[in-house]
Amino acid sequence: MSALNETHDPGLRSWVESANDGRTDFPIQNLPLAIFRRKGSSEAWRGGVAIGDQVVDVAAAVQAGFFGGDALAAAQAAAEPTLNHLMSMGPKAASSLRKALSQALQAGSSRQAALQPCLVPQAEAEYSLPCRIGDYTDFYTSVHHATNIGKQFRPDNPLLPNYKWVPIGYHGRSSSIGVSGQAFHRPRGQVKPPDADAPSLKPSARLDIELEMGVLIGQPNALGAPIGIDDAESHVFGLVLFNDWSARDIQPWEYQPLGPFLSKNFASTVSPWVVTMEALAPFRVPFTRPADDPQPLPYLASSAHSAAGGLDIELEALIETPRMRAAGSPPARFTHTNYRHAYWSAAQMVAHHTVNGCNLQPGDLLGTGTLSGPTLDQACALIELTTGGKNPIALPNGETRTWLEDGDTIILRGWCERPGAARIGFGECRGTVLAARDA
Give catalytic residues, as residue numbers.
Answer: 145
89 Cα distance to chain centroid: 21
Q: How far apart are the C-alpha atoms of 242 and 147, rounded to whole Å? A: 21
**β 54-57/119-121 pair status:** antiparallel
**β 310-311/268-270 pair status:** unpaired
Q: How far apart are the C-alpha atoms of 366 and 221, rounded to whole Å? A: 15
Closest to 240 (Cα-Cα) out of 199, 259, 262, 268: 268
> Using an 8 Å Cβ cutoff, are 278 and 95 in contact?
yes
Please, what is the angle between helix 70-78 and helix 91-105, to 10°? 100
Helix (H), strand (E), coil (C) string for 349-360: HHHHHHCCCCCC
Q: How many CB atoms lie within 10 A of CB 114?
A: 14
136 φ, ψ (degrees, to nearest 5):
-140, 125
Cis, bond preceding 257 (omega within 30 deg of 0): yes
Give the list of residues 6+ apart from residue 325 with CB closer than 8 angstroms, or none. Answer: 407, 409
Strand segments, DSSP code E, in 161-258 are: 169-171, 177-179, 182-185, 188-191, 200-203, 207-208, 211-217, 236-243, 246-247
Q: How far apart are the C-alpha atoms of 101 and 105, rounded to whole Å? A: 6
Q: Residue-wise over 261-281: b if at least 16 C-beta within 10 A, else e?
A: ebbbbbbbbbbbbbbbbbbbb
The residues with which 365 forms a beta bridge, in sequence order, are 136, 216
> Using an 8 Å Cβ cutoff, are 215 and 342 in contact?
no
Q: How far apart are the C-alpha atoms of 311 and 415, rounded to whole Å? A: 11
> Using an 8 Å Cβ cutoff, are 399 and 389 in contact?
no
Q: Which letter does DSSP use for residue 44 in this model?
A: P
18 φ, ψ (degrees, to nearest 5):
-65, -10
